[in-house]
Amino acid sequence: MEQYKKEFIEFMIDCNVLKFGDFITKSGRKTPFFVNTGFYRTGAQLKRLAEFYAEAINNEFGTDFDVLFGPAYKGIPLSVATTMAIAEIYDEDIRYCSNRKEIKDHGDKGILLGSPIQDGDRVVIIEDVTTAGTSIEETLPIIKAQGDVEVVGMVVSVDRMERGQGKKSALSEIEEKYGFKTTSIVTMKEVVEHLYNRPYKGTVVINDELKKAIDSYYEQYGAQ
């Protein structure tokens, strides 16, 4: 596993973004782990998060694209911070863009924030965690309506590796349905691999009992 992935897993723990226990997901599933990206709350945390995103994007897509699109609302700061990180780390000046939930009819009119999207643009979409596809269904028509645009792919922070609408993962379903690549900074498999029976700051985060609960969860809800 790449070093930045290990550092990102530990970063999530430090930020209280990655938690273990008993939780209920939005879809009603009882889960032994939870990823709450709302706990990235400081400038330093957002800067570091953006650096992890930048490395994941560069590894999968390179920097030969034009626009990083972050769907409202969480995608707005992600697109801004990550284009800044790409500029700083890779010396590539990528444009950022997001959508508004409501179309603005005065001043800077329209549905987009940041850079306009133009014919010929190559776009990467940035999201927080694995999406069930609902956000993409709303986002893609907005991007495509701007002109002859190529969506290169999508990046999320954590792939929960759960079934989407069918038996495959939500990210795999998006790839099949829309024809572009998806990637994540880490997968839950990598999280477990890094933390299982390995002390972090003096504590074993995933012990045998928790590992058993995670395995049981994936037997029921894991993607095939």
Maximum average pLDDT range among 9-13, 27-31, 32-36, 163-167: 9-13
**Strand, helix or coil for residue 24:** strand
Which residues, listed in sequence order, are joined to residue 159 by a DSSP beta bridge? 187
- Averaged pLDDT of the chain: 92
| Position with higher pLDDT, 5 vs 166 | 5
Q: Are 45 and 51 in contact (CB under 8 A)?
A: no
**Cα–Cα nearest to 157, from 44, 63, 81:** 81
**Strand, helix or coil for residue 161:** coil
Task: Out of 26, 101, 106, 109, pick the active-site residue.
Answer: 106
b (16+ CB within 10 A) / e for 143-166 = beebeebebbbbbbbbbbbbbbee
Confidence of residue 167 (pLDDT cuts 50, 70, 90): confident
Confidence of residue 219 (pLDDT cuts 50, 70, 90): very high
Mean pLDDT of 170-186: 93
SS3 content of the chain, % helix, strand, coil (to 5): 40, 30, 30
Provide the pLDDT for residue 107.
Answer: 45
Give tens-digit pLDDT for 114-129.
999 999 999 999 999 8
Task: Out of 47, 104, 144, 189, pick the active-site residue.
Answer: 104
Give tens-digit pLDDT for 144-158.
999 999 999 999 999
Establish whether 104 is a catalytic residue: yes
Distance CA 129, CA 34 (A): 11
Name the amino acid, one letter, at 125: I
Instruction: Count other Cβ atoms within 10 Å, centred on residue 216.
Output: 11
Distance CA 160, CA 186 (A): 9
Provide the pLDDT for residue 100.
Answer: 83
Q: Are 115 and 95 in contact (CB under 8 A)?
A: yes
The pLDDT of residue 21 is above 90: yes
Strands 199-200 and 181-187: unpaired
Confidence of residue 81 (pLDDT cuts 50, 70, 90): very high
pTM, 2 dp? 0.93
Provide the pLDDT for residue 23.
Answer: 92
Distance CA 113, CA 120 (A): 19
